[in-house]
Amino acid sequence: MRSVNVDDLTTRARIRNSAIELIGAHGFDRASMRMIAQAAEVSPALVVHHFGDKDGLRAACNAHVAAMFTVEREGADGAQITIQAIQTALGDLDAYGPALNYLARMLSDGSSRSADDLFDGILQGTLQSVREQEQSGVIHPQSDPAGTALILTLFGLAPIVLARHFSRSLGVQELTPAAIARITVPLLELFTHGFYADDSILNAAKTAMENEEQP
Res 72 pLDDT > 60: no
pLDDT at 110: 61
Give me the chain's average pLDDT, please: 82
In the chain, % of residues over pLDDT 70? 87
Q: What's the pLDDT band for 113 if we cut at 50, 70, 90?
A: confident
pLDDT at 31: 93
| 3-class DSSP state of 70 | strand
pLDDT at 211: 81
pLDDT at 8: 52
List of domains in the chain: 1-61 (1.10.10.60), 69-213 (1.10.357.10)
Closest CA relative to residue 62, chosen from 131, 10, 119, 11: 119
Compute the 3-state secondary structure of the chain and give helix, strand, coil in percent, each to the nearest 5: 70, 5, 25
- End-to-end alpha carbon distance in the chain: 66
pTM attached to this predicted model: 0.72
CA 11 to chain centre: 26
